[in-house]
Structure 1
Amino acid sequence: MADDTVRGEAAAGVQTESRNGGADGENQSLSKRQRKKLLKQQKWEEERELRKERRKEKKQQRREQRQNQTEEEGGEAQSFRKRPRREVTPSSVRLVMDCSFDDLMLLKDVRKLHKQIQRCYAENRRALHPVQFYLTSIGGQLKQSMDEKDKGWVNWKDIHIKTEHYKDVVEKEELVYLTSDSPNVLEELDQKKAYVIGGLVDHNHHKGITFERAKELGIEHAQLPLSSFVKMNSRKVLAVNHVFEIILAFLEKGSWRDAFFTVLPRRKGAVAVTQGGEYTLKEDEENSDSDSDRDTPEQTA
């Protein structure tokens, strides 16, 4: 029995030694790079709480700095942020988009018109003197594009969206169709009038169609006084959003010249007309803050 006991204790000792040796062997099997990575991970875990405390301290310091700055400035910075950028005074002028040319355009052109309408809406929303904006004859491809590309259009504010033709929305005597083919030149904006812009991207395929439509309906028509202030390399037919933005700019600046040179894109090659009938380089080209030249508008009738 004594011999059996001795042999059992010896066997247990061998097993313990084997286990310890296995652990040491596992550590020894790690490469130097692996051991270094393991130590780095352990250190990162140990310092987790320390990093958390440091982040809290930095956040508190930034908060105190902002508070001190506000107090030093007497609250001016905060009141400035809350103060509106400028006082908006809505205009009684009505701008009506005639979208009854849907069947004359390819879908790709309808989508371009959709983008131009989006631009008009956005510009009117931030204008100093926003106009009464009407979209008429909404339907067909245009409505399909608006539903697919801009589902939020049904929630647009400060805009009148109609499926009816503009002649059924506004009194005939109040309508003035803006078309570059009209012999009449618009000198001033009548606050009682509704100015119609043809919603057509035509690539010159339908020249003069808006002028003909205006004559057929027996309504007034006029062109913007572009030739009196501007000479351009291209045709004087402008995109839908440019006509819209020029009206907004005129309401703000009270000058057709300033309105044209604020809105017209540089690629149009616009130059100012002098009193002597000669042309000078566009004075506002470098200083204009308009971003209209970023668009790719097509010509409208």
Structure 2
Amino acid sequence: MADDSVKSEVSAQQQNDNGDDKSSQKTVNSNGEAPTEHQTLSKRQRKKLLKQQKWEEERELRKQRRKERKQQRRMQKLDHQEEEEGDIPSARKRICREVTPSSLRLMVDCSFDNLMQIKDVCKLHKQIQRCYAENRRALHPVQFYLTSLGGQLKQNMDEKDKGWVNWKDITIKTEHYSEVVAKEDLVYLTSDSPNVLEELDQNKAYVIGGLVDHNHHKGVTFERAKELGINHAQLPLSSFVKMNSRKVLAVNHVFEIILAYLEKGSWQEAFFTILPQRKGAVAVNQDGITIQEKEEKDSDSDTDTP
């Protein structure tokens, strides 16, 4: 019995020794070095770490793929638009191709600087800016002139719009318009003139008075034209439009009406395209009767008929 107990103790001791050897083998690698951090991570943690590394490595590839998909969508969109429009180009491209400069000259007379207050000079500056912008994008841009530029107006332009010195397709003069263009080629546009402008002469230079005076200086442009002995005329406004307010229009409105007439070939369309709603413009027929008045007159005659 004693021998059996001794044998069991010896075998137990051998098993313990073998277990220690196996555990020591697990904690020491073949090079006799301690295990790395990755070897101590769990299977899930190692999987997550590898996934993160792969994500970082493929960052540039994903960026390139996004760029390609974006380019592909853009091309598909353009193809779709071409299918819908057929051979018709976009409106912007069509306008660019069909632009035909006009030989007509439009001149803004800036010689009324001493008749305006600074707030009115600022308004005139904005109107001139509008004229320049509209002429740049017109289908038939005119030859645009600013004459007699100086005084408060030039100072205001220098202070609030320094880029005006780089304006293109415009002629800016300090001289009076009568010194820039021959008198026989000039036509002053003024609402006080008894002459009505029926057609535009491409060989003429039409002058617009650069004056914002809120009706304080009535007839001053007409008087200036007569003093210089140059031709004058008013736009055929009364022949096509009846307004609630006075017929005196802002500089940019006159300018834009002429641009619209060159494009549409119709004074009535030009007036109703440009005139602001506050003017209360109503179309009239050849007899000078508004459409509404004609309808009321026809209605009255119908009721009188038995």
Give me the TM-score of the superposition, normalised by structure 1.
0.72
Per the TM alignment, residue 67 of structure 1 is displaced from its structure 2 partner at its CA by 3.9
The correspondence for 1:133, drawn from 130, 138, 144, is 144
Structure 1 position 221 matched with structure 2 position 232: yes
- Mark the runs of 5 or more structure 2 residues left unpaired by the alignment: 1-51, 293-306
Structure 1 position 257 matched with structure 2 position 268: yes
Corresponding position of 2:65: 57
Structure 1 position 278 matched with structure 2 position 289: yes
Structure 1 position 238 matched with structure 2 position 246: no
Structure 1 residues 68 and 230, CA gap change in structure 2 (3 angstroms)? closer
Corresponding position of 2:108: 97
User: What secondary structure, in the 3-state scheme, does the structure 1 residue paired with 2:232 have?
Assistant: strand
Structure 1 position 148 matched with structure 2 position 188: no
Q: Matched residues in 1 for 2:261 and 2:73: separation?
A: 45
Letter in 1 for 2:197: L
Q: Highest Rg: 1 or 2?
A: 2
Per the TM alignment, residue 59 of structure 1 is displaced from its structure 2 partner at its CA by 2.6
Give the number of the structure whose residues are more often helix, by fraction. 2
Give me the TM-score of the superposition, normalised by structure 2.
0.71
Corresponding position of 1:284: none
Corresponding position of 1:187: 198
User: What secondary structure, in the 3-state scheme, does the structure 1 residue paired with 2:98 have?
Assistant: coil
Q: Matched residues in 1 for 2:212 and 2:251: separation?
A: 8
Any runs of at least 4 consecutive aligned residues in structure 1 with deviations exceeding 2 A, and if so which? Answer: 46-60, 64-74, 76-86, 275-278
Q: Matched residues in 1 for 2:113 and 2:122: separation?
A: 11
Corresponding position of 2:4: none
Corresponding position of 2:185: 174
Q: What whole-Å deviation, never above 9, does each CA across 1:163-218 have from its counterpart, x for those lacking one?
A: 00111111011111000000000011111111100000001111110001001111
Number of positions where the alignment pairs a residue of Structure 1 with one of Structure 2: 238
Percentage identity across aligned positions? Answer: 74
Structure 1 residues 271 and 108, CA gap change in structure 2 (3 angstroms)? same
Q: Matched residues in 1 for 2:58 and 2:198: separation?
A: 73
- Mark the runs of 5 or more structure 1 residues left unpaired by the alignment: 1-43, 282-301
Letter in 2 for 1:197: I
